[in-house]
Structure 1
């Protein structure tokens, strides 16, 4: 199968590319390298340095004619979306429409879209399932949800199939603490350098942390399953930020301590996603517990650090 992955040089996208290549699929990557990294690019994939908002991607579609598009190129920083909503909307909404226009023109069979738990806003109940109301409290949540509507209408008008995957908090190898960093990569970078991380708020806020390889396997499953469906991709398990920090400190045998600061605007207190629909429709389940995923991530960076020392 010929698959185009946007953001394929990034944290999540590069893991998806690796799994596709491993499965024998022909893979094309579009990435502008704003947060992606050349080191992440699989040598067996065809790479184009381009922005999803550019008209020139028409030429890439014309030459490559992908059967499926897996769309991960995005602006993903909630705080940046609040500071610069114009940029956030331009990348996440206009960029997706540009992709959809090319999907229509070059008769792409299916698009798999990386959405987010941020679309739900403050949960009315936990765990959040796909029937939960959508009410984002950040511009990022809005800009990730809006393309879902465009995708559905393109599906109705032009017969492009889709699977929308709403991710919980993804962590793992290749996550950049200074670029698209989540709390795990930020904590790890500080702990490895003997610095005390800051926890915003009281540390009792909970998240559903899912290892990146489980995200990648869900995307591969979606190539052939869950047509025209929305699925949460999560572990359905909650962990407080303080618990997360303590687990990481224990694995590293670090003596660093957390510093507690003020809560941040746009942050949700508690978030856990119900993954039953994905398990049923995608024949998928998470393979890593939080402890296993953290251990694998920490060991990778610890060894990398030792080699570079």
Structure 2
């Protein structure tokens, strides 16, 4: 199948590209490279450097790639920026999605998978939330994700497009950006490796559902290859809650083990505590029972193993950079 992955040079998108290629699909990428990197992509994958908010450029990319299916990962991903600049957020996350959906219909695309979010839709939940949990987004980012799902349902109904919205938990893993506001795993690892103390916001008892990026890529592949008609939404998480204090200890342990294996004597600085971030959810947990029942997806990488893999990748990257490679 010819698959077009928007945002395919980014953190999650590049893993989705790899999963699609491994499954035998032909893949092309649309990415404006504002956050993604060409080096994240396997050699030979065609990339159209296009802003999804540019309808004409999106149309040209679709005409060239002639996709049979689309996985839409391209997004403005900062919640706080969406609060400061809701129009900018909507430009990419609403208008950009519509440009891609409309081009998909004109090209005769059969399947469309959309990267949504569980946390921003459900709000504070202290038990794993299923897909039927009321949606109550409070940020423009969350509002755009909910609007996106509603547009998918419309396009499925009106144009016969088979659509899936995947509501991610807190995705982590190799290639995650350590310089943004999100991605606490990447941020903490980058600070540890730079000899700086990780900063924990508030009391550190903010609970999240951490899901490894390769598991998320596999969920995208299963949704892509599904055979239902219409629109479906699926949670993609583990149902296991981990607070930031636990996460910091897990990362410290994983990175210490890796540095010792490299013959180094790790002396990782103790975490410090800063003020809480306004609007942070206390708890976000996802019930992934539906995707297990209907698509056979279950997380395969436990948090401890995922943190080890991620820590190893960041340590190796730092060594390569130090060697000038």
* TM-score, reference length from structure 2: 0.92
1:59 Cα deviation after fit: 1.4
Unaligned runs of 5+ in 1: none
1:118 Cα deviation after fit: 3.1
Q: Which residue of 1 aligns with 2:290?
A: 277
1:7 Cα deviation after fit: 0.2
**Which range moved further: 229-238 or 58-67?**
58-67
**Which range moved further: 219-228 or 141-150?**
219-228
Q: Which residue of 1 aligns with 2:58?
A: 57
Aligned residues: 309
Q: Which residue of 2 aligns with 1:246?
A: 249
Q: Which residue of 1 aligns with 2:263?
A: none
How big is the alpha-carbon RMSD for the aligned residues of Structure 1 and Structure 2?
1.4
Question: Using the alignment, how far apart are the partners of 2:286 and 2:241 within structure 1?
Answer: 9
**Which range moved further: 178-187 or 81-90?**
178-187
Question: Contact 2:125–2:285 at 8 Å: present in 1 too?
Answer: no
1:266 Cα deviation after fit: 2.5
Q: 2:277 aligns with which of 264, 273, 278?
A: 264
Q: Which residue of 1 aligns with 2:232?
A: 229
Question: Using the alignment, how far apart are the partners of 2:316 and 2:42 within structure 1?
Answer: 21
SS at structure 1 position matched to 2:103: helix
SS at structure 2 position matched to 1:196: coil
Question: Contact 1:115–1:166 at 8 Å: present in 2 too?
Answer: yes
Q: Which residue of 2 aligns with 1:195?
A: 196
**Which range moved further: 179-188 or 269-278?**
179-188
Question: Contact 2:167–2:235 at 8 Å: present in 1 too?
Answer: yes
Q: Which residue of 1 aligns with 2:79?
A: 78
**Which range moved further: 31-40 or 99-108?**
99-108
SS at structure 2 position matched to 1:90: helix
1:179 Cα deviation after fit: 4.2
Q: Map Cα deviations across residues 161-185 of structure 1 (whole Å, 9 max, x no partner).
A: 1011000000000001114741100
* TM-score, reference length from structure 1: 0.96
Q: Which residue of 2 aligns with 1:33?
A: 33
**Which range moved further: 118-127 or 92-101?**
118-127
1:38 Cα deviation after fit: 1.2
Unaligned runs of 5+ in 2: 257-266
SS at structure 1 position matched to 2:218: helix
SS at structure 1 position matched to 2:297: coil
Q: Which residue of 2 aligns with 1:289?
A: 302
Q: Which residue of 2 aligns with 1:205?
A: 206
1:110 Cα deviation after fit: 1.1
**Which range moved further: 222-231 or 38-47?**
222-231
Q: Map Cα deviations across residues 176-230 of structure 1 (whole Å, 9 max, x no partner).
A: 1114741100111001111111111110110000010000011111112274211
Q: Map Cα deviations across residues 82-114 of structure 1 (whole Å, 9 max, x no partner).
A: 121111111100100111111111111011000
